[in-house]
Amino acid sequence: MKKKALIYIPTKTSMQSGRGKIKNWILEFETRDPNNNVLMGWESSDDTLDEVKLKFSSKEKAMDYATANNIEFTVIKSKQKKFVIKSYEENFTKN
Max CA distance (Å), the chain = 62
Under CATH, what is the fold of the domain 3-13+20-91?
Answer: Double Stranded RNA Binding Domain (3.30.160)
Distance CA 25, CA 75 (A): 10
- Domain ranges for the chain, please list them: 3-13+20-91
Q: According to the model, what pLDDT value does residue 20 have? A: 67
Report yes or no on whether pTM surpasses 0.95: no
Show pLDDT as tens, one digit a residue, over the chain (95 residues): 678 899 998 877 777 666 666 788 999 998 777 777 777 777 777 777 778 899 999 999 999 999 999 999 999 987 777 777 878 888 788 76
Q: According to the model, what pLDDT value does residue 95 have? A: 62
70 sits in the region (left: phi over 0; alpha: psi -120 to 50; else beta) called: left
Q: Is 74 helix (H, G, I), strand (E, B) or coil?
A: strand
Q: Is 7 helix (H, G, I), strand (E, B) or coil?
A: strand
